[in-house]
């Protein structure tokens, strides 16, 4: 037993064997390493009666390292650990339905090697103790609910790329979760991949030189906290549950949803990618949303890639997010500022707002370039300020910009936005002030600007320019 060893010690396992006696330790400070005697990995099989773990570390200051060893704890826990620090550097560790490792102390996995774990639940860390997973292969089963759990902070992939199969649900409350690198996917029939953070938790995904990969991520939920997605690839192919015969299909849930949370996507040097073919990438309720960079890909014509409610949005701060989707944004009761470059991707897309203040461009500095814009719809009551930039629409008879009960201002004394479309603007109710602007069109039957029941202020000491056969229709 470990308690019999005096001082720091390395236990070299010389041959594989079956263990029927539990290793117990509850004394003072000690550093112990258990490993195979050479590069050939030895195997220990847990054959203790009942559901008894192979190791029971109940107290004291033990730092225990396991490396280059194989432990088969099928049907039983591998360890309960309450020492100073548990380090698992390399080896193979196998279980079934029991939690392999339960720790009330910090746990570090894969600093120097790549250990492999297979069990329905691999590690559970209680108290305010950090779980740090640097490298390793972690495989759950089809019945895995939560492959790893921790009450304290969690760091994944800081210096390595761990691999997770069948993660299940990863939940945190009021602590820090960092997923710097790693790959996450699931087998067919396994539980969906979900990450839930509540109670002022801070979630950071990615890094400036790393890119976590999430395949078939069902949901990332952050409530009352902070979410920063620096980099990574996030894929959701749609609902995982098929409807019963004769019933309606389930409404797809957003891949990422937040409430009362500060959300930041992308950085000056990184571009996270989101693919949600049949549902939404992001739903933000209250809080704020800043999209510096990102590529958003979807196929749904009825569900927007991003939905917000009571949120301040800033899109494209010095950089260019890209939307490859029919429906990019739905913004309700908040504000949206589109700065600098803003590309809508390789297909025409629409943006819809309600009860929102929308600002495009600025009176000075770099300006946005919005291409392939199918339609920007500003619902009542709204404010639309197009101060600068260029907006290019598709070849359609529908107006590129449609407003209802909205105060619309175009241009300023120092900036001149440009519009290129069959029909640039249709303003219903509200007001329209055109200080500066360049309107380019080719249609003889469609006016660049149509208004209905509004007050128009034109020029205001400056000269808007219309390069088109049909400039205005005022009703």
CA-CA distance, 39 to 36, in Å (whole number)?
7
74-75-76 Cα angle (round to 5): 95
Does 4 score more than 80 pLDDT?
no
Burial class (CB in 10 A: 0-12, 13-18, 19+), 424: buried
Residue 412 lies in a domain: yes
pLDDT at residue 240, as a whole number: 46
* 335 and 356 assigned to the same domain: no
pLDDT at residue 343, as a whole number: 67
Residue 245 lies in a domain: no
* 211 and 79 assigned to the same domain: no
Residue 246 lies in a domain: no
Residue 233 lies in a domain: yes
Does 443 score more than 50 pLDDT?
yes
Count of CA atoms in the C-beta half-sphere (13 A) of 412: 13
pLDDT at residue 320, as a whole number: 81
pLDDT classification of 3: cutoffs 50, 70, 90: very low
* 113 and 55 assigned to the same domain: yes
Q: Which of 329, 347, 365 is the last residue of a domain?
A: 347
* 257 and 158 assigned to the same domain: no
Lowest pLDDT segment from 225-229, 251-255, 266-270: 251-255
Residue 244 lies in a domain: no
Q: Which of 323, 347, 371 is the last residue of a domain?
A: 347
Does 265 score more than 90 pLDDT?
yes
pLDDT at residue 249, as a whole number: 56
* 204 and 340 assigned to the same domain: yes
* 158 and 203 assigned to the same domain: no
Q: 338: domain range?
A: 192-239+253-347
pLDDT at residue 175, as a whole number: 97
Residue 173 lies in a domain: no
Does 113 score more than 90 pLDDT?
yes
* 264 and 329 assigned to the same domain: yes
Q: Which of 320, 347, 374 is the last residue of a domain?
A: 347
CA-CA distance, 11 to 37, in Å (whole number)?
8
CA-CA distance, 169 to 8, in Å (whole number)?
38
pLDDT at residue 349, as a whole number: 87
Does 38 score more than 90 pLDDT?
yes
Average pLDDT estimate for 224-243: 82
Instruction: Quick: pLDDT tens for 385-409.
Output: 999 999 998 777 899 999 999 999 9
Residue 176 lies in a domain: no
Average pLDDT estimate for 327-339: 94
Average pLDDT estimate for 114-118: 98
* 330 and 398 assigned to the same domain: no
* 312 and 379 assigned to the same domain: no
* 407 and 418 assigned to the same domain: yes
Residue 186 lies in a domain: no
pLDDT at residue 319, as a whole number: 80
Tokens of 51: 């559901």
Instruction: Quick: pLDDT tens for 42-97.
Output: 999 999 988 899 999 987 788 999 999 999 999 999 999 999 999 999 999 999 98
* 340 and 229 assigned to the same domain: yes
Please give the tally of structural domains in the chain.
3
pLDDT at residue 2, as a whole number: 46
**More confident position, 373 or 246:** 373
* 135 and 203 assigned to the same domain: no
């Amino acid at each position: 037993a470990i308690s019999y060893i005096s001082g720091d010690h390395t236990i070299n396992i010389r041959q594989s064997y079956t263990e029927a006696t539990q290793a117990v330790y509850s004394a003072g400070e000690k550093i112990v390493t258990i490993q195979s005697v050479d590069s050939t990995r030895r195997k220990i099989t847990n054959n203790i009666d009942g559901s008894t773990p192979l190791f029971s570390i109940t107290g004291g200051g033990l730092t225990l390292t396991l490396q280059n060893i194989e432990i088969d704890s099928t049907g039983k826990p591998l360890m309960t650990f309450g020492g100073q620090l548990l380090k698992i550097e390399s080896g193979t560790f196998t279980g079934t339905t029991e939690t392999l490792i339960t720790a009330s102390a910090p746990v570090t996995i894969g600093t120097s090697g790549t250990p492999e774990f297979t069990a329905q639940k691999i590690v559970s860390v209680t108290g305010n103790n950090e779980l740090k997973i640097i490298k390793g292969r972690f495989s759950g089963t089809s019945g895995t609910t939560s492959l790893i759990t921790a009450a304290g902070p969690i760091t994944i992939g800081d210096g390595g790329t761990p691999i997770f199969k069948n993660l299940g649900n990863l939940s945190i409350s009021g602590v820090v979760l960092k997923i710097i690198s790693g790959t996450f996917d699931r087998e067919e029939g396994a539980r969906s991949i979900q990450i839930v953070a509540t109670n002022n938790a801070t979630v950071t995904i990615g890094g400036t030189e790393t890119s976590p990969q999430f395949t078939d991520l069902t949901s990332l939920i952050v409530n009352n906290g902070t979410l920063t997605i620096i980099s990574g690839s996030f894929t959701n192919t749609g609902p995982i549950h098929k409807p019963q015969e004769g019933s309606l299909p389930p409404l797809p849930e957003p891949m990422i949803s937040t409430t009362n949370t500060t959300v930041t996507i992308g950085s000056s040097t990184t571009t996270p990618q989101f693919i949600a073919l049949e549902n939404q990438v992001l739903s933000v309720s209250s809080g704020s949303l800043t999209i510096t960079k990102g590529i958003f890909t979807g196929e749904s014509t009825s569900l927007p890639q991003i939905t917000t409610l009571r949120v301040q949005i800033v899109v494209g701060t010095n950089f260019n997010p890209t939307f490859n989707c029919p429906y990019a944004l739905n913004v309700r009761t908040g504000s949206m500022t589109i700065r600098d470059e803003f590309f809508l991707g390789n297909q025409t897309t629409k943006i819809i707002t309600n009860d929102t203040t929308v600002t495009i461009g600025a009176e000075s500095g770099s300006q946005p370039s919005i291409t392939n814009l199918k339609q920007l719809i500003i619902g009542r009551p709204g404010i639309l300020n197009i101060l600068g930039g260029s907006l290019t629409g598709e070849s359609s008879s529908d107006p590129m910009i449609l407003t209802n009960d909205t105060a619309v201002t175009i241009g300023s004394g120092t900036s001149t936005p440009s519009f290129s479309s069959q029909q640039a603007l249709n303003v219903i109710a509200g007001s329209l002030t055109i200080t500066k602007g360049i309107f380019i069109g080719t249609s003889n039957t469609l006016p660049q600007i149509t208004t209905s029941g509004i007050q128009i202020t034109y020029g205001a000491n400056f000269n808007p320019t219309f390069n088109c056969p049909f400039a205005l229709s005022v009703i």
